[in-house]
A and B are shown apart, each in its own frame.
Chain A
Protein backbone atom coordinates (compact mmCIF):
# COMPACT_ATOMS: atom_id res chain seq x y z
CA UNK A 1 0.00 0.00 0.00
CA UNK A 2 1.11 3.53 -0.67
CA UNK A 3 0.51 6.69 1.30
CA UNK A 4 1.57 10.30 1.40
CA UNK A 5 1.86 12.63 4.38
CA UNK A 6 2.09 16.35 3.89
CA UNK A 7 3.56 17.58 7.13
CA UNK A 8 2.02 21.07 7.11
CA UNK A 9 -1.57 21.93 6.32
CA UNK A 10 -0.71 25.63 5.99
CA UNK A 11 2.54 27.46 5.29
CA UNK A 12 2.88 31.23 5.26
CA UNK A 13 5.91 33.03 3.82
CA UNK A 14 6.82 36.58 2.91
CA UNK A 15 7.25 37.51 -0.73
CA UNK A 16 10.86 37.00 -1.80
CA UNK A 17 11.68 34.43 0.91
CA UNK A 18 12.23 30.69 0.34
CA UNK A 19 9.39 28.19 0.20
CA UNK A 20 9.57 24.69 1.72
CA UNK A 21 6.59 22.32 1.51
CA UNK A 22 7.25 18.98 3.13
CA UNK A 23 6.11 15.57 1.94
CA UNK A 24 6.89 12.07 3.18
CA UNK A 25 5.77 8.99 1.33
CA UNK A 26 5.36 5.30 1.97
CA UNK A 27 5.54 2.77 -0.83
CA UNK A 28 6.28 -0.93 -1.01
CA UNK A 29 8.09 -0.46 -4.32
CA UNK A 30 9.87 2.27 -6.23
CA UNK A 31 7.34 5.07 -6.54
CA UNK A 32 6.53 7.79 -8.99
CA UNK A 33 6.07 11.06 -7.13
CA UNK A 34 4.38 14.25 -8.20
CA UNK A 35 3.58 17.72 -6.98
CA UNK A 36 0.38 19.33 -8.25
CA UNK A 37 -0.78 22.90 -7.65
CA UNK A 38 -4.34 24.12 -7.44
CA UNK A 39 -5.13 27.82 -7.54
CA UNK A 40 -8.44 28.95 -6.01
CA UNK A 41 -11.46 27.59 -7.88
CA UNK A 42 -9.23 26.05 -10.52
CA UNK A 43 -8.24 22.55 -11.59
CA UNK A 44 -4.96 20.79 -10.84
CA UNK A 45 -1.76 21.58 -12.67
CA UNK A 46 1.33 19.38 -12.63
CA UNK A 47 4.35 21.19 -11.15
CA UNK A 48 6.91 18.41 -11.44
CA UNK A 49 7.36 14.65 -11.34
CA UNK A 50 9.92 12.08 -10.26
CA UNK A 51 10.01 8.78 -12.12
CA UNK A 52 13.30 7.12 -11.04
CA UNK A 53 15.59 9.32 -13.12
CA UNK A 54 17.46 12.26 -11.54
CA UNK A 55 16.72 12.69 -7.83
CA UNK A 56 16.61 16.50 -8.11
CA UNK A 57 13.62 17.39 -10.22
CA UNK A 58 13.00 20.82 -11.65
CA UNK A 59 9.48 21.95 -12.40
CA UNK A 60 7.61 24.95 -13.66
CA UNK A 61 7.64 28.43 -12.11
CA UNK A 62 11.00 27.91 -10.38
CA UNK A 63 9.93 25.02 -8.17
CA UNK A 64 12.05 21.96 -7.58
CA UNK A 65 11.92 18.85 -5.41
CA UNK A 66 14.47 16.33 -4.25
CA UNK A 67 13.74 12.62 -3.92
CA UNK A 68 15.47 11.21 -0.85
CA UNK A 69 14.95 7.48 -0.58
CA UNK A 70 16.71 7.16 2.78
CA UNK A 71 14.35 9.73 4.30
CA UNK A 72 11.30 8.72 2.19
CA UNK A 73 10.82 12.39 1.44
CA UNK A 74 10.00 14.52 -1.59
CA UNK A 75 10.00 18.10 -0.34
CA UNK A 76 9.07 20.97 -2.65
CA UNK A 77 11.18 24.13 -2.63
CA UNK A 78 11.45 27.48 -4.32
CA UNK A 79 14.19 30.04 -3.63
CA UNK A 80 11.98 33.11 -3.71
CA UNK A 81 8.20 33.19 -3.25
CA UNK A 82 5.99 35.27 -5.49
CA UNK A 83 2.47 36.44 -4.74
CA UNK A 84 1.18 34.27 -7.58
CA UNK A 85 2.48 31.15 -5.78
CA UNK A 86 -0.34 31.38 -3.25
CA UNK A 87 -2.31 28.17 -3.83
CA UNK A 88 -2.96 24.64 -2.56
CA UNK A 89 -0.19 22.12 -3.22
CA UNK A 90 -0.62 18.36 -3.33
CA UNK A 91 2.05 15.72 -3.02
CA UNK A 92 1.05 12.56 -4.88
CA UNK A 93 2.46 9.03 -5.07
CA UNK A 94 1.92 6.23 -7.54
CA UNK A 95 3.61 2.96 -8.30
CA UNK A 96 5.28 2.41 -11.63
CA UNK A 97 2.61 -0.08 -12.62
CA UNK A 98 0.56 1.48 -15.39
CA UNK A 99 -2.87 1.12 -13.85
CA UNK A 100 -1.98 2.07 -10.28
CA UNK A 101 -4.19 4.98 -9.20
CA UNK A 102 -2.62 8.08 -7.67
CA UNK A 103 -2.73 8.61 -3.92
CA UNK A 104 -2.98 12.23 -2.85
CA UNK A 105 -1.77 13.93 0.28
CA UNK A 106 -4.25 16.18 2.06
CA UNK A 107 -2.68 19.31 0.69
CA UNK A 108 -0.68 22.29 1.95
CA UNK A 109 -2.09 25.75 1.59
CA UNK A 110 0.64 28.27 0.79
CA UNK A 111 0.03 31.90 1.69
CA UNK A 112 2.39 34.61 0.47
CA UNK A 113 2.49 37.86 2.40
CA UNK A 114 3.46 41.10 0.66
Chain B
Protein backbone atom coordinates (compact mmCIF):
# COMPACT_ATOMS: atom_id res chain seq x y z
CA UNK B 1 0.00 0.00 0.00
CA UNK B 2 1.98 2.99 -1.30
CA UNK B 3 -0.62 5.65 -0.43
CA UNK B 4 -0.24 8.75 -2.61
CA UNK B 5 2.72 8.89 -4.98
CA UNK B 6 3.89 11.71 -7.25
CA UNK B 7 6.04 11.64 -10.37
CA UNK B 8 8.53 13.23 -10.88
CA UNK B 9 10.07 14.40 -7.61
CA UNK B 10 12.06 17.22 -9.19
CA UNK B 11 11.93 18.99 -12.54
CA UNK B 12 13.53 22.01 -14.15
CA UNK B 13 11.78 23.60 -17.14
CA UNK B 14 12.49 26.51 -19.40
CA UNK B 15 9.85 29.19 -19.88
CA UNK B 16 7.31 28.06 -22.45
CA UNK B 17 7.93 24.34 -22.07
CA UNK B 18 5.14 21.98 -21.13
CA UNK B 19 4.99 19.10 -18.69
CA UNK B 20 2.61 16.80 -16.84
CA UNK B 21 2.76 15.87 -13.17
CA UNK B 22 1.30 12.52 -12.26
CA UNK B 23 -0.43 11.70 -9.00
CA UNK B 24 -1.46 8.15 -8.18
CA UNK B 25 -3.28 6.73 -5.16
CA UNK B 26 -4.01 3.13 -4.27
CA UNK B 27 -6.60 3.76 -1.53
CA UNK B 28 -9.63 3.82 -3.84
CA UNK B 29 -10.35 7.41 -2.84
CA UNK B 30 -12.97 9.36 -4.74
CA UNK B 31 -11.55 12.83 -4.24
CA UNK B 32 -8.19 14.08 -5.42
CA UNK B 33 -6.55 17.50 -5.21
CA UNK B 34 -3.60 19.45 -6.53
CA UNK B 35 -2.02 22.17 -4.37
CA UNK B 36 0.96 24.44 -4.77
CA UNK B 37 3.10 25.58 -1.86
CA UNK B 38 4.98 28.86 -1.93
CA UNK B 39 6.97 30.41 0.94
CA UNK B 40 4.72 32.23 3.41
CA UNK B 41 1.58 31.29 1.49
CA UNK B 42 0.65 27.90 2.90
CA UNK B 43 -0.91 25.50 0.42
CA UNK B 44 -3.28 26.81 -2.21
CA UNK B 45 -5.70 24.64 -4.14
CA UNK B 46 -5.18 24.56 -7.91
CA UNK B 47 -7.77 22.04 -9.11
CA UNK B 48 -9.63 19.13 -7.62
CA UNK B 49 -11.74 16.16 -8.66
CA UNK B 50 -14.69 14.55 -6.90
CA UNK B 51 -14.65 11.46 -9.08
CA UNK B 52 -13.44 9.83 -12.26
CA UNK B 53 -14.08 12.07 -15.24
CA UNK B 54 -14.80 15.19 -13.17
CA UNK B 55 -12.64 18.20 -12.36
CA UNK B 56 -13.19 21.59 -10.76
CA UNK B 57 -11.21 24.78 -10.30
CA UNK B 58 -9.68 25.74 -7.01
CA UNK B 59 -8.24 29.00 -5.76
CA UNK B 60 -5.38 29.39 -8.28
CA UNK B 61 -6.27 27.46 -11.48
CA UNK B 62 -4.84 29.79 -14.14
CA UNK B 63 -2.06 28.28 -16.25
CA UNK B 64 -2.90 24.70 -15.26
CA UNK B 65 -5.10 21.95 -16.63
CA UNK B 66 -6.05 18.62 -15.07
CA UNK B 67 -7.53 15.31 -16.07
CA UNK B 68 -8.97 12.37 -14.12
CA UNK B 69 -9.41 9.61 -16.69
CA UNK B 70 -8.88 6.87 -14.13
CA UNK B 71 -10.02 6.91 -10.53
CA UNK B 72 -6.54 6.28 -9.17
CA UNK B 73 -4.74 8.95 -11.24
CA UNK B 74 -4.93 12.73 -11.31
CA UNK B 75 -2.77 14.57 -13.84
CA UNK B 76 -1.69 18.21 -13.60
CA UNK B 77 -0.53 19.84 -16.82
CA UNK B 78 1.37 23.01 -17.54
CA UNK B 79 0.96 23.90 -21.21
CA UNK B 80 3.39 26.82 -21.27
CA UNK B 81 5.41 27.09 -18.10
CA UNK B 82 6.17 30.48 -16.55
CA UNK B 83 8.65 31.42 -13.80
CA UNK B 84 5.66 32.23 -11.55
CA UNK B 85 4.87 28.52 -11.57
CA UNK B 86 8.09 27.70 -9.76
CA UNK B 87 6.75 26.00 -6.66
CA UNK B 88 6.36 22.75 -4.78
CA UNK B 89 3.30 20.83 -5.91
CA UNK B 90 1.41 18.47 -3.65
CA UNK B 91 -1.26 15.99 -4.56
CA UNK B 92 -3.78 14.71 -2.01
CA UNK B 93 -6.66 12.28 -1.91
CA UNK B 94 -9.65 11.68 0.33
CA UNK B 95 -12.38 9.13 0.66
CA UNK B 96 -15.97 10.05 0.08
CA UNK B 97 -17.49 9.63 3.53
CA UNK B 98 -18.94 12.96 4.56
CA UNK B 99 -17.89 12.55 8.17
CA UNK B 100 -14.27 11.86 7.36
CA UNK B 101 -12.51 14.80 5.82
CA UNK B 102 -8.82 13.90 6.24
CA UNK B 103 -6.70 14.29 3.13
CA UNK B 104 -3.64 12.13 2.48
CA UNK B 105 -0.72 13.88 0.84
CA UNK B 106 1.95 12.79 -1.56
CA UNK B 107 5.64 13.68 -1.04
CA UNK B 108 5.59 16.63 -3.43
CA UNK B 109 7.16 17.66 -6.72
CA UNK B 110 9.64 20.53 -6.74
CA UNK B 111 9.36 22.42 -10.02
CA UNK B 112 11.68 25.20 -11.15
CA UNK B 113 10.89 27.26 -14.25
CA UNK B 114 13.81 29.25 -15.61
Q: How far is the CA of A9 from the CA of B48 in the complex (A)?
A: 28
Number of A-B contacts (CB under 8 A): 57
Q: How far is the CB of B103 from chain A (nearest CB, A)?
A: 6
Q: How far is the CA of A78 from the CA of B90 in the complex (A)?
A: 27
Q: Which of A11-19, A55-63, A69-77, A93-101 contacts B (4 or more CB under 8 A)?
A: A93-101
Chain A facing B: main interface SS: loop
Q: How far is the CA of A98 from the CA of B97 in the complex (A)?
A: 6
Chain A contributes a number of interface residues (CB within 8 A of B) equal to: 24
Contact A98 to B98, CB < 8 A, known contacts A42-B107, A43-B106: yes
Contact A105 to B42, CB < 8 A, known contacts A43-B106, A97-B98: yes
Check A104 against B44 for contact (C-beta < 8 Å).
yes
Check B42 against A101 for contact (C-beta < 8 Å).
no
Q: How far is the CA of A29 from the CA of B101 in the complex (A)?
A: 15
User: Residues of B with Cβ closer than 8 Å to A?
Assistant: 31, 33, 35, 40-45, 48, 50, 58, 90, 92, 96-103, 105-108
User: Residues of A with Cβ closer than 8 Å to B?
Assistant: 9, 32, 34, 36, 42-46, 49, 51, 90, 94, 96-102, 104-107
